[in-house]
């Protein structure tokens, strides 16, 4: 990305972005688009610094993908989120927010492969036991061939498939990596960017994975941590506490507010913005010296003034999600936090059992399950009736022996749009094209998974939000360490 026009990059290629530097003297009216964790964390920290903050949230409640749904005495998270960080500042911030309601949980998860539930992520060499002698020979020989080819390769793979095959071999890619990845994203792995692999597969190859299993270090990569933090009453406690703290600090939150336009005042790009929005009761407008966007990047581009050079057709996609919430009349289904199901014939790709995260998530003597269905609004499943989706989920879980269908006493289906940014091949060019266009708008900033189009865990989202606020308020030093990233002005 060309940053010569004043745009400065935070936290790597796709992190939070600021344009034209810090807030100047006298500025103080800030409008934040989106009331998820990124927007709420940014808003709270800005309000604590004495700035006037208003958050516009399209839904009827804050939290976005991080909210917790309450139903008939059960609490369900949307997707199951865990919090893990090596950043002391971030952990202090979270402890101050949640106090005694912050739990420490030992992670347990499995993936259903070849008729067996295998520890996930795979732990080698023990995981090799799921293969028969012939298949094991294929895995090891294809890995050896990939290592040899990697030594003599003159090009770098650009797709997820390239990246994984070069490091783990074709056989393990076909058995383990490809099925679940294609199920999640709905596209072939050769159309998915290698950036996804580099970001989510923490170890560089099969041999390094074995060494990590045998000789675990003190600071494991975030994707394979054995422990994590979790709020006692669901992950939605974080946005709820953030929202209450923001209101206590003098900030405002408008729910059921759909952003219609973000317009420079008087056409002067240095004069702030008028943000127009619609609610159930009519229209509203806000004057803003600074706008922070956490909404889908495509939606932000559509809200800006029409311009022949505007990339309104920017090729950036988001994956949608359907959650099936099941209330179950038994003590426990499994001991897992997550269980992964890569098989194409199964409608769901992952389950999590809330009661294993915190006992407060379910009534005494009962348990619950959340089944996640990765889909898109252009796919038939998205348009299926709720009872059809729920019935198929329960039937398939029963057929697997994972759950007894007659134990399910209640069910609910929830659709979530724009859940995950999709790293298609070429997405980086499209993202940089959008950023170049946005450089002309001073005081317009992007942050968060959806707003910055960066697949971040919750800790990364909050890190970026806090770092952005430090920058905007001129409180970041020349070089600060943020987790495993560096921010250099």
Q: What pLDDT score was predicted for residue 137?
A: 85
Best CA proximity match to 482, nearest among 465, 212, 277, 472: 465
Please check whether residues 162 and 256 belong to one and the same domain: no
Model pLDDT for residues 251-299, shown as the tens digit of each residue: 999 999 999 999 998 765 667 999 999 999 899 999 999 999 999 999 9
pLDDT category of residue 4 using cuts at 50, 70 and 90:
very low
For the chain, the first-to-last Cα distance in angstroms comes to 15
Domain-ending residue, one of 400, 422, 444: 422
Please check whether residues 157 and 212 belong to one and the same domain: yes
Give the range of the structural domain holding residue 261, as residue numbers without chain letter: 7-64+235-315+424-487
Please check whether residues 429 and 310 belong to one and the same domain: yes
CA distance 238 to 241: 5
Please check whether residues 361 and 401 belong to one and the same domain: yes
Please check whether residues 468 and 428 belong to one and the same domain: yes
Assigned domain for 87 exists: yes
Q: Specify the DSSP element, H or E, that contains 152.
A: helix 133-152
For the residues 443-464, what does the mean pLDDT come to? 93
Instruction: Give 31-98 as a DSSP string.
Output: EEE--BHHHHHHHHHHHHTT-EEEEE-SSSSSBGGG-EEEETTEEEESS---B--S-HHHHHHHHHHH
Structural domain count, the chain = 3
E strand spans, 346-405: 350-352, 367-375
Domain-ending residue, one of 167, 190, 220: 220
Q: What angle do CA 8, 245, 415 make, to 5 degrees?
A: 75
Assigned domain for 400 exists: yes
Assigned domain for 345 exists: yes
E strand spans, 329-403: 338-340, 350-352, 367-375
Model pLDDT for residues 129-178, shown as the tens digit of each residue: 787 888 888 888 888 888 777 776 666 678 999 999 988 899 989 998 99
Output the CA–CA distances (angstroms, integers) from residue 157 to 120, 161, 198, 421, in the order listed. 26, 8, 11, 21
For residue 373, give the 3-state DSSP assignment. Answer: strand
Q: CATH number of the domain that 81 lies in?
A: 3.90.660.20
What pTM was estimated for this model as a whole?
A: 0.87
Assigned domain for 304 exists: yes
Assigned domain for 1 exists: no
Please check whether residues 411 and 436 belong to one and the same domain: no
Please check whether residues 449 and 304 belong to one and the same domain: yes
Q: CATH number of the domain that 276 lies in?
A: 3.50.50.60
Model pLDDT for residues 406-441, shown as the tens digit of each residue: 999 999 999 999 999 999 999 999 999 899 889 888
Assigned domain for 113 exists: no
Domain-ending residue, one of 398, 422, 446: 422
């Amino acid at each position: 990305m060309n940053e010569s026009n004043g745009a400065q990059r935070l936290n790597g290629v796709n992190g939070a972005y600021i344009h034209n530097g810090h807030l100047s003297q006298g500025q103080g009216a800030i409008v934040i688009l989106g009331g998820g964790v990124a927007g709420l964390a940014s808003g709270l920290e800005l309000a604590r610094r004495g700035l006037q903050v208003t958050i516009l949230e399209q839904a009827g409640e804050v939290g976005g993908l991080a909210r917790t749904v309450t139903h008939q005495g059960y609490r369900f998270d949307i997707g199951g989120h865990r919090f893990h960080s090596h950043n002391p500042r971030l952990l202090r911030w979270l402890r101050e927010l949640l106090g005694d309601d912050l739990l420490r949980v030992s992670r347990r998860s499995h993936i259903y492969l070849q008729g067996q539930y295998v520890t996930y992520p795979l732990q080698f060499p023990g995981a090799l036991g799921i293969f028969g002698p012939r298949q094991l020979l294929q895995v090891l020989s294809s890995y050896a061939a990939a290592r040899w080819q990697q030594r003599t390769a003159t090009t770098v793979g650009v797709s997820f498939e390239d990246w994984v095959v070069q490091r783990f071999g074709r056989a393990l890619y076909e058995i383990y990596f490809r099925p679940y990845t294609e199920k999640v994203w709905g596209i072939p792995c050769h159309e998915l960017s290698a950036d996804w692999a580099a970001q989510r597969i923490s170890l560089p190859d099969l041999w390094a994975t074995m060494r990590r299993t045998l000789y675990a270090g003190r600071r494991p990569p975030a994707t394979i941590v054995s422990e994590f933090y979790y709020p006692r009453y669901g992950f939605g406690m974080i946005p709820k506490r953030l929202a209450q703290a923001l209101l206590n600090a003098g900030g405002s939150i408008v729910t059921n507010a759909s952003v219609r336009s973000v317009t420079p005042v008087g056409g002067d790009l240095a004069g702030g913005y008028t943000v127009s929005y619609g609610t159930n009761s009519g229209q509203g407008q806000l004057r803003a010296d600074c706008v922070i966007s956490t909404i889908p990047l495509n939606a932000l581009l559509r809200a800006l003034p029409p311009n022949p050079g505007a990339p309104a057709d920017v090729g950036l996609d988001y994956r949608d999600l359907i959650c099936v919430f099941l209330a179950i009349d038994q003590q426990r289904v499994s001991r897992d936090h997550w269980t992964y199901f890569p098989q194409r014939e199964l409608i769901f790709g992952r389950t999590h059992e809330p009661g294993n995260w915190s006992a407060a998530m379910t009534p005494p003597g009962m348990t619950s399950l959340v089944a996640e269905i990765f889909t898109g609004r252009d796919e038939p499943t998205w348009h299926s009736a709720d009872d059809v989706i729920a019935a198929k989920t329960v039937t398939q879980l029963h057929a697997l022996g994972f759950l007894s269908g007659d134990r399910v006493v209640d069910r609910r289906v929830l659709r979530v749009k724009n859940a995950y940014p999709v790293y298609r091949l070429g997405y980086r060019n499209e993202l940089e094209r959008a950023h170049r266009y946005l450089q002309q708008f001073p005081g317009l900033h992007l942050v968060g998974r959806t707003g910055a189009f960066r697949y971040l865990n919750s800790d990364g989202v909050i890190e970026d939000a806090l770092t952005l606020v430090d920058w905007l308020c001129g409180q970041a030093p020349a070089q600060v360490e943020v987790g495993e990233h560096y921010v250099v002005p």
